[in-house]
Amino acid sequence: MEDTRIAVLSVIAEHREGAAQLNALLSEYAPCIVGRMGIPYQRKGVSVICIVLDAPVAHINALTGKIGQIDGLNAKTLFSKF
């Protein structure tokens, strides 16, 4: 079994157009997702999504990169030491 790490993937969605692509990616990576929370921040017109992952580093980096390529989405990941 490949070593896994716990990470928090944070996404800021500036528009809703990328939502379908984002949801498709999250469905693809569902086995790695521990939980997720989305918060619409109406005052700024954005949505903030936090995704907790437990997966190999390569999988987490691949997901972060794919999300970052979707227009209107910004993604960053914070890794634990575990």
Q: Per residue of the chain (82 residues), give pLDDT as tens.
A: 579 999 999 999 998 899 999 999 999 999 999 999 999 999 999 999 999 999 999 999 999 999 999 999 999 999 998 7
Q: Nearest Cα to 51, choosing from 26, 24, 80?
A: 26
Q: What share of the chain is helix, strand, coil (3-state, %, to 5)?
A: 35, 45, 25
Q: What is the pTM of this model?
A: 0.92
Give the class (CATH, top level) of 5-79: alpha beta
pLDDT value of position 37? 97
Name the pairing type of β-strands 73-79 and 33-41: unpaired
Q: Would the CA dihedral through 61, 10, 71, 25 be positive or negative?
A: positive
Residues 62, 15: Cα–Cα separation, whole Å: 22
The residue extents of the domains of the chain are: 5-79
pLDDT value of position 49? 97
Scan for tokens 């227009």, then name that residue: 71
